Amino acid sequence: MPYGPPLLLASLNPNAIAAGADIPDAVTIDDATLSRSDLLGAATSVAERIARADRVAVLAEPTVRTVLAVVGCLIAGVTVVPVPPDSGAAELEHILRDSGAQAWLGAAPEGTELPVVPVRLHARSWHTYPEPDPASTAFILYTSGTTGAPKGVMLSRGAIAAGLDALAEAWDWTWKDTLVHGLPLFHVHGLILGLLGPLRVGSPVIHTGKPTPEAYAAAGGSLYFGVPTVWSRIVEQPELARQLGKARLLVSGSAPLPVPVFEKLAELTGQPPVERYGMSETMITLSTRADGERRPGWVGTPVSGVETRLRDESGAPVPHDGESIGALQVRGPMLFDGYLNRPEATAADWTEDGWFRTGDVAVIDADDFHRIVGRESIDLIKSGGYRIGAGEIETALLGHPAVAEVAVVGLPDDDLGQRIVAFVVPREGGSAELGAELIAHVGAQVSAHKRPREVRFVDTLPRNAMGKVQKKLLG
């Protein structure tokens, strides 16, 4: 029988595999390697057991069983609800109740009340399923919940395909690559890009379990994904970093890459990293290109099919002059279908003329290059009548040799509205003298009104699983 429309996971076409399009190392994870035919046979066996379900929860540990669970659901057309393995009791209960997941597929937390469907590593089935409707929901991804209970982001198969194809074009990503990463499998970066991407373009993927410098250097890939904390640790071990110079592309995302890390990585590996921008609701909409300019602190231009614009507080256009800050709005074929059970929240995030409000603020230059200033709610500081981006101050501070990490926020101030406060992780130790030196350092690089009014030294910055600083916890 014909297999139907083009597959979301194009490299797992049963007809092609039967005709010999197999590779022995399609997925390597958890010290186990699956060939393309192993993956298809085992995942199809999973599909047979859950084909009548609507939604299932997958405890997204970095294991072969997680891979088979996700791929099995995609074969059967069952919606996947990835659950972070470290979810607290309240978060876990909310995700299961809100999503309406009918069972756990694979591993499950202790004491669960839902039925558990096992994933058998050695079971095989060669039944063929028609490709589900591209408009059907493939995943419900839950946001980090920084402004309330996590919201379920509904991503369709068609949106995922459009997003992955746009990245393959921008990064010249083909079956000849080997992707390496050690990112969590419950977000867009590690799961959609890092697992489904290779299965769509046909490139092998090596998941390192944890994204350590040693594991990345030993993997021998051509394409690497990492978050800024990963790249920061890699450049601190120059000999390991130099081994990545054999790779074709180093990609950083999920949070801004500090300019000093960008420059050090470029120095050690011989190539500047690719930076890109996206979120659960939009997947990746902006990126620097494999064949284009890579500018530290900037996330490039819109990928294929994407349009962007900037708006001020009144809704008026903001000029693309590389300096003026505006709220970033996007539209394109890889955007989500709304928040599950949240019609009001969904409607609030879209303009009347069909643009998605990202909640981020940015600047765009005359060449359509984008720089993300940060979240409108926490990174746009309004102090003394000025609109100031926290990212610019953070970049200046990271250029000082005494600063290991930094987060800049605006705290309430009776006189200024907000005062600029820098939370600094020092490389050795903090002092009043160093605080004054850092303020002067910023003042020498940017306008005087952008200098921090206060520097607070801390041991660590609060981060989530993807390495993003949780600024709402600072203050």
Q: What number is the average pLDDT over the span 378-399?
A: 82
27 and 125 both lie in a single domain: yes
Q: What is the DSSP string of 245-303?
A: GGSSEEEE-SSPPPHHHHHHHHHHHSSPPEEEEEETTTEEEEE--TTS---TT--BEEP
Cα separations in angstroms, 116 against 44, 50, 121, 277: 18, 11, 16, 36
Say if residues 430 and 398 touch (Cβ distance below 8 Å).
no
Window from 62-66, 325-329, 446-450 with minimum mean pLDDT: 446-450
160 and 238 both lie in a single domain: no
* Percent of the chain's residues with pLDDT above 90: 78
45 and 92 both lie in a single domain: yes
H/E run at residue 171: helix 157-171
Q: Which two tokens stand for residue 376?
A: 């409108």
**pLDDT exceeds cutoff 90 at 2:** no
221 and 366 both lie in a single domain: yes
User: Is the alpha carbon torsion for 140, 143, 147, 148 positive or negative?
Assistant: positive
**Identity of the amino acid at 107:** A
Q: Which residue has the tokens 């990492």?
A: 226
The number of domains in the chain is 3
CATH number, position 461: 3.30.300.30
166 and 245 both lie in a single domain: no
**pLDDT exceeds cutoff 70 at 299:** yes
User: Is the alpha carbon torsion for 152, 156, 159, 164 positive or negative?
Assistant: positive
309 and 399 both lie in a single domain: no
Q: What number is the average pLDDT over the span 428-452?
A: 89
**Mode of pairing for the β-strands spanning 403-413 and 386-389:** unpaired
Q: Which of 109, 144, 174 is the last residue of a domain?
A: 174
The pLDDT value recorded for residue 239 is: 97
Cα separations in angstroms, 424 against 24, 234, 394, 471: 47, 21, 9, 12
Q: In 3-state terms, what secondary structure has residue 175? A: coil
17 and 160 both lie in a single domain: yes
Q: What number is the average pLDDT over the span 241-247?
A: 97
Q: Which two tokens stand for residue 395?
A: 């970049």
Q: Please calculate the CA angle 265-267-270 and round it to the nearest 5 degrees.
A: 90
**pLDDT exceeds cutoff 80 at 148:** no
362 and 466 both lie in a single domain: no
Domain hosting residue 401, numbered range:
380-473
Q: Which residue has the tokens 């003298």?
A: 433
Q: pLDDT band for 276, please (50, 70, 90 cuts).
A: very high
317 and 281 both lie in a single domain: yes
* 337 assigned to some structural domain: no
Q: Which of 129, 144, 174 is the last residue of a domain?
A: 174
Q: pLDDT band for 145, please (50, 70, 90 cuts).
A: low
Q: pLDDT band for 387, please (50, 70, 90 cuts).
A: confident
Work out the number of other CB atoms within 10 angstroms of the CB of residue 40: 25
* 318 assigned to some structural domain: yes
* 256 assigned to some structural domain: yes
* 204 assigned to some structural domain: yes
The pLDDT value recorded for residue 260 is: 85
Q: In 3-state terms, what secondary structure has residue 165? A: helix
* 428 assigned to some structural domain: yes
14 and 157 both lie in a single domain: yes
pTM of the model: 0.87
Q: pLDDT band for 384, please (50, 70, 90 cuts).
A: confident
Q: Which of 141, 174, 207 is the last residue of a domain?
A: 174
Say if residues 185 and 82 touch (Cβ distance below 8 Å).
yes
**pLDDT exceeds cutoff 60 at 343:** yes
Q: pLDDT digits over 12-40, tens only?
A: 999 999 999 999 999 999 789 999 999 99
**pLDDT exceeds cutoff 60 at 146:** no
Say if residues 250 and 267 touch (Cβ distance below 8 Å).
no
CATH number, position 136: 3.40.50.12780
* 62 assigned to some structural domain: yes
289 and 384 both lie in a single domain: no
* 184 assigned to some structural domain: no
Q: pLDDT digits over 172-191, tens only?
A: 999 999 999 999 999 999 99
Mean pLDDT of the chain: 93
84 and 126 both lie in a single domain: yes
Beta partners for residue 411, in sequence order: 419
The pLDDT value recorded for residue 399 is: 85
H/E run at residue 405: strand 403-413
Say if residues 167 and 193 touch (Cβ distance below 8 Å).
yes
Q: Which two tokens stand for residue 201?
A: 């373009």
* 19 assigned to some structural domain: yes
